[in-house]
Chain A
Amino acid sequence: MNAELLFGSTLTRLVFFPAAACLPLLFIPRQSQKAVKWYTLVVSLVELAFAIDLAARADWGARVLRDLAAGGEPIAWVPRFGIAYDLRMDGISTPLALLGVGLLPAVVLGSWRGIERHWRLFAAALFLLTTGVLGTLFAWDMFLFYVFWEVMLVPMYLLIGIWGGERRIYAAVKFFLFTMAGSLLMLVAILWMAWTYHGLTGTWSFAYADWLRLDLPLPAQLWLFGAFALAFAIKAPMFPLHTWLPDAHVEAPTGGSVLLAGILLKLGTYGFLRFALPLFPAASRELQPLIVGLALVGILYGALVAWVQVDMKKLVAYSSIAHLGFVMLGLAAADLLAWQGALLQMVNHGLSTGALFLLVGMLYDRRHTKQFADFGGLAKVMPLFAFFLVFSALASVGLPALNGFVGEFLILAGTYRALGWPAVAAAFGVVLAAVYLFKMLDRTLWGPLEREENRGLPDLTPREVAALLPLCALMLWIGVAPRFFIDPSKPALEETLAAYRARAAAPAPDEPALREPVQAVQEAAR
């Protein structure tokens, strides 16, 4: 392994800088909590600078951007099994990576007061989680992908379990077990794929580009798709595998909730887009009605359940299920517009739900309650808070000129073009979103200020505004000038979609076979 290639590489730097930043934590004395906080903030800002620098320098016309400084060559990790350390970015993974890294400073600022103990461990968990997330997004080798996928689990488990609410341990264990159950079956599927590839070619490879060439019989595809889809559907989460999510969100500390909703859930839908659909086109085409159906149920069920919540955080959590249902619907539609919308909606949801969780957390820091019954009329005492809450809620509802509108519109338009009536059913979800989010605004901000305790509530501090302002600015920017965000991803989505459609249309073979590399695949392999 060439050290210079490894450490000089930009993607490697982006992925492993947070993990490396854990080491200096050991030398900051336990007592100086303030130093740890500032250190965490600085690290997250540096990481953000790295990410923006990388995205700004990338050539978005190309389908897949290799790890630039590594010369584009994967570095052998376990050569015996054809396992490589291979990081690449493309228009699909980069927006999500930017989102994940971009939320980090907001998470640190939002946790400033809420996290009272063990800041060093908190910082380490955040950093390791970031490394896991970025590695999962950039991994171009299935084994590497799986390793990063699992690396995300423990930091999130600690975030929920150590700093969470009263039932935190139950929630943390439930989160861990659900996710692990899916990923272990995915591991068996990965091993099965590796053997199939080995059986066909006589050599080992876990390279994503190589696996795209595998043409499997339908029954095998259905099993494998099932295993992959289960892992991703649990993560996303899709109805009916969503039950861990409300528990995890309600118990997690603010920072944990923001990261969970902001980026971890997206990895489930990203997994569908990157792996489950392109690797098993015939099976996913076969099961398309099922996925569409579950996505629709998720949209409506999530919205209806969110409506009846009496707890702000639970409401936002259930709204995530509905929003991710939209994303899944767009992905299942297999239409360019819908895919563009789905990718954008992943980012949108990260921004608006991230902001909403931050706001709920800020309120909780002040009043130590999240129940609607304890609030009302807050707009009178906290005008800044009210502004940001209304702004984020409107973005989440999909008000034109804000980001949510663009994403949902693209998904609905694309789905209508490809599938027809499911788009109509999904449109009800948009209406319901307005209903439950306005209910939240109504119960917290408006009405008479009845509670005595709420009279003296201080408004947002400059630190809290600093956490929210960038997110809201982005919501507005995406809403006003969406092309700036959509266009870079277009080549990657177009080619993935073209290859997917071509394969889904062709009949699956009776025996596993190796496909001639399609244009897009060649591109990726080069």
Chain B
Amino acid sequence: MTAQQWSALVPELVLCAGGIVILLLDAFLPGLRRAWTPAALATTGAAGWAAWERLPYGSSFDGLLEASPITLGFSLVVLVATALALLASDGYLRRERILAGEYHALLLWCAAGLLLMLRATELLTLFLALETLSLCLYALAAYHRRLEIGTEGAIKYFLMGAFVSAFVLFGLALLYGETGTTRLEGIAAAVQAAQGPSLVASLGFLLLLAGFGFKMSVVPFHAWSPDTYQGAPSPFVGFLSVAPKVASALVLFRILQAAVAGGDDAKWAELVSLLAVLSMVAGNLLALVQRDIKRMLAYSGIAHMGYLLLALVTLDRPSLAPVLVYLLAYALMNAGAFTVVALLYARPGEQHLIAELSGWGYRFPLLGACLTVSMLSLAGLPPTVGFLGKYLVFLNAVGDGFVGLAVVGVLASLVGVVYYLRVVYVLYMKPETRQPEGLLLDGWGRAAAVLAALATLVLGLWPSGLIEWTLQATLPR
């Protein structure tokens, strides 16, 4: 490999190396455990800096990877989610007495896989990145190994994930068989030449769609997420519920773009809007009946991916800007919510009933306020970044003539308001039902919650810089 090729991999290399170093140090100097969180954070920061400063735009490895402002934007969202998850994890791991370097290493490798996934322009590279990511995710989902429920959720996730890998691989094979190439560019060219995908190629696209729809937990590929979220370590769920979706959204966009290269995009638009409507409606309605806050957030995540898909109904590049803003918003507010959940529920093996938070808004004013901000942002109320994301997505949908879809979207989010507000009223309007026992409210965790909540508000109040940056990044050059 030439020096130039090495330099095209700097962020991923930093992440992988950081993980390996932490893992080795953990084996030989376990006494330094408390230093892994700052070390992993520094690694994440370095990767972000490398992606921002050191990564030349353009394609590398003979066109297998690309780097562009778009991939940079999505990468930064992934790294923000990673950093917030790391911050939230330290206290949780210490409280559960499972603090070890593997956790940090696996999380960093997940991020590396995600960054590769974002940059892959060829399907086999994409598949390898996906597998790197998935294996780390399975391990992390089962990380709290004393918990039966965690193992159960992780096995479900693993089994479903294995099917999905097979789907993706099969879809990839079909596309290769039909078009003779695994590069997305080549596939798009072949589809264009044939004036639309053939039946076999369409099947290939559909399989890929299903695969990444699974990672995004879009209805009807969503069944794994509530169980997995419930059993997995809460701070890690803040990552699991965001980062893989960030990467999958961009991949989905690329795949769909290749699929509509033939010019006939009506069928695909219908398919995507169907998935969007199903996710919005089913996600919100199912979240409504949840009593466990993690399951509620799982279904709410499904609904949010539905809103996100609204922006992808038309596959023009301007629709990437709302997607990116929405994903950043979702990363911040979801991380904020899961951080507070991780801090305030001390028994990870049991249900995390929303009612258990009764009256705690007064006992823990800071964390209560952070959770409230996250909930209001998830509900899409101004002046939060969650509103900004919804505004951009709906603006995009209305501008493309899908007023009906936008109306379905706002009505679905009205349902969402009910269950997000339930958390707020439990926090402030119910008398306390339990004493805090065994909680560990560490500085890292508080910092994660406050940072996420502050960013949610600040970006909602001063959105201009963010909007300008994303639009610049996603404008066709």
Which A positions have Cβ atoms within 8 angstroms of B? 76-81, 118, 121, 146-147, 150-151, 153-154, 157-158, 161-162, 168-169, 172-173, 176-177, 180-181, 184-185, 187-188, 191-192, 194-195, 198
Contacts and interface: CB of A to CB of B under 8 A. Distances in A.
A310 B394 CA distance: 46
B398 A177 contact: no
B411 interface: yes
Contact of A147 (B362, B382, B418): B382
Interface string B411-436: 10110011001001100110000000
B176 to A, nearest CB: 41
A188 B403 contact: yes
B425 A173 contact: yes
B4 interface: no
B407 interface: yes
A191 B464 contact: no
Contacts of A198: 399
A173 B383 contact: no
B421 A176 contact: yes
Given A146-B382, A157-B421, A169-B429, A195 B464 contact: no
11 contacts: A76-B464, A80-B471, A150-B381, A154-B381, A169-B429, A176-B417, A177-B418, A184-B411, A184-B414, A188-B398, A192-B398
Given A78-B467, A80-B464, A188-B407, A154 B428 contact: no
Contact of A168 (B376, B381, B383, B429): B429
Contact of B417 (A76, A177, A188, A195): A177
B410 interface: yes
B428 A80 contact: no
A446 B468 CA distance: 68
A153 B380 CA distance: 13
A343 to B, nearest CB: 28
Contact of A172 (B362, B398, B406, B425): B425
Given A147-B382, A150-B382, A154-B376, A173 B414 contact: no
Interface string B388-412: 0001001100110001001100110
Contact of A162 (B381, B417, B429): B429
A195 B398 contact: yes
Of the candidates B398, B407, B424, the one having the most CB atoms from chain A within 10 angstroms of its own CB is B398
A191 B394 CA distance: 8
B348 interface: no
Contacts of B424: 157
Contacts of B413: 184
Contact of A78 (B421, B425, B464): B464
B406 A181 contact: no
A269 to B, nearest CB: 23
A158 B428 contact: yes
B464 A177 contact: no
B69 interface: no
A168 B429 CA distance: 9
Classify chain B's interface size. Answer: 20 to 34
B463 interface: yes
A414 to B, nearest CB: 37
Contacts of B471: 80
A169 B382 contact: no
Contacts of A172: 425, 429
B398 A191 contact: yes
Interface in B374-388: 376, 381-383, 387
A154 B414 CA distance: 14
A151 B410 contact: no
Contacts of B383: 147, 151
Nearest to B417: A180
A194 B467 contact: no
The 8 closest A-B pairs by CB, nearest first: A184-B410, A147-B382, A191-B398, A161-B429, A78-B464, A195-B399, A150-B382, A191-B395
Contacts of B463: 78
A151 B407 contact: no
Contacts of A146: 382
Contacts of A187: 391, 394, 410
Nearest to B380: A184
B464 A77 contact: yes
Interface of A: prevailing SS? helix
A188 B428 contact: no
A150 B362 CA distance: 25
Contacts of B428: 121, 158, 161-162
Q: Which of B382, B383, B411, B418 has the most chain A CB within a 10 Å cutoff? A: B382
A181 B425 CA distance: 19
Which of A79, A151, A154 lies at the interface centre, i.e. has the most chain B CB atoms within 10 A of its CB? A154
Contacts of A180: 414, 417
Contacts of A78: 463-464, 467
B73 to A, nearest CB: 16
A185 B394 CA distance: 11
Contact of B407 (A168, A177, A185): A185
A162 B358 CA distance: 12
A181 B413 CA distance: 9
Contacts of B398: 188, 191-192, 195
Nearest to B407: A188
A177 B387 CA distance: 17
A32 B165 CA distance: 61
A185 B381 contact: no
A146 B388 CA distance: 12
A162 B421 CA distance: 13
A151 to B, nearest CB: 7
Contacts of B425: 161, 169, 172-173
A206 to B, nearest CB: 11
Given A80-B464, A185-B407, A188-B398, A177 B414 contact: yes
Contacts of A185: 407, 410
A426 B3 CA distance: 85
A257 B234 CA distance: 41
A194 B429 contact: no
A188 B424 CA distance: 26
B406 A79 contact: no
B414 A188 contact: no
Most buried by B among A162, A180, A194: A180
Contacts of A157: 421, 424
Contacts of A181: 411, 414
Contacts of A150: 381-382, 387
A80 B467 CA distance: 8
B120 to A, nearest CB: 31
Given A168-B429, A185-B410, A192 B417 contact: no
Contacts of A195: 395, 398-399
Given A154-B381, A173-B425, A181-B414, 9 more contacts: A78-B463, A147-B382, A147-B383, A161-B428, A161-B429, A162-B428, A177-B417, A188-B394, A195-B399
Nearest to A160: B429
A185 B414 CA distance: 10
A78 B381 CA distance: 18
Contacts of B417: 176-177, 180
Contacts of B418: 173, 177
B80 to A, nearest CB: 22
B391 to A, nearest CB: 8
Interface in B131-146: none
Nearest to B463: A78
Nearest to B388: A78
Nearest to B471: A80
A80 B470 CA distance: 11
A118 B363 CA distance: 12
A356 B446 CA distance: 46
A162 B424 CA distance: 11
Contacts of A177: 414, 417-418
Contacts of B410: 184-185, 187-188
